[in-house]
Amino acid sequence: MSTRAQLLLSALMLIAFQQHLASAQQAAPIPMCGGDPFDPLTMMCCAQEPVPIELPMSAKPFMQCCGEVIIDNRTEACCAMETPFFKKDGVCCGGTLHQVDPLSFACCGGTLYERAPQLNCCANSDIYDVVEEICCAGQLQGYPALTHSCCGSTALPYSGSRRCCGPQTPYDTHSEVCCQDTVIQAMECPTASATTGTGQVDLVLGTTQPNQPGNALPTEHPVPVHASPLADVGNGNVPAGAAAAVAAPSLPLALDLPRPGQPARPPRPPGKRPATRVAGFF
């Protein structure tokens, strides 16, 4: 083959290779980072720069960029999106890395403070003393947490007639009732559950359920629901185990019941029990 033919063949092969490469790029685009191609299996694109992965591949699900550094977020953190540090060695607060013990110091709203049993952070913005205030729904209330609890954004005292209906609705137990997490006027709760001091009383079946904390209606006596427990037994509203316990003390003895077609027996004298015949001895 002449030299001219070899050059022509090489040119044709180069053109074919370029066409194949172009079609391959269209089918599977090469990942780019800041205008440069990179391999996502061995590199990460951090701050528009391809950064080689030097951590073990087992940590790949926990890798993230911190500036132009790859960190393992299980043990490391990033301060101000550019300064990596180990979580056990410092606290990032207000965009500044503080080399302090995170078990002794904390950050609240950009302010570093020393931890104490009575100090807390409200909505990551205000440091407060729980002896003097309480944080309800991200708002500080001027009442101590030792005597008040939160009902939504309202602080309610533990004593008194005000309680919480559901997660965030205060109500007065003197004039209102919490019925299925809805506050209504007292005695207007239909065939649902009304909250009383004895628990959740079902006005239909008369069953009691544990009361929700903070929703108790102060009362010293249970609410009478059924006048006769035997009516529930007859209607099948009492479980079988409970029916026997309820009905047994009130039912007459089987020996005192007349048989069909026989006249009723006279009442037996008090203090005497009828003789019981045992098969084989009489």
**pLDDT score of 233 more than 70:** no
3-state secondary structure of 18: helix
**pLDDT score of 155 more than 90:** yes
Instruction: Please give the backbone phi and psi of residue 55, each rounded to the nearest 5 degrees, phi first.
Output: -80, 160
pLDDT band for 15, please (50, 70, 90 cuts).
Answer: confident
Instruction: Tell the residue number behind the tokens 């299925």, with chain if given.
Output: 180
Beta pairing partners, 204: none
Q: pLDDT tens for residues 29-72? A: 788 998 888 898 899 999 999 999 999 989 999 999 999 999 99
Q: Quick one: average pLDDT of 94-107? A: 96
Instruction: State residue 224's pLDDT score.
Output: 37
**pLDDT score of 223 more than 50:** no
Q: Quick one: average pLDDT of 258-265? A: 57
C-alpha R_g of the chain = 40
Around Cβ 114, how many Cβ atoms within 10 Å?
Answer: 10
End-to-end CA distance of the chain: 132
Instruction: State residue 1's pLDDT score.
Output: 62
Strand 76-79 with 83-86, pairing: antiparallel
Residue type, 85: F
Q: Quick one: average pLDDT of 109-136? A: 93
What the block records as the tokens of 169 is 């609705």
Q: Quick one: average pLDDT of 67-81? A: 95
Q: pLDDT tens for residues 123-151? A: 999 999 999 999 999 999 999 988 999 99
Instruction: Please give the backbone phi and psi of residue 37, each rounded to the nearest 5 degrees, phi first.
Output: -70, 150
Share of the chain above pLDDT 70, in %: 62
246 CB contacts (<8 Å, ≥6 apart)? Answer: 229, 230, 232, 233, 238
Mean pLDDT, rounded, of the chain:
73
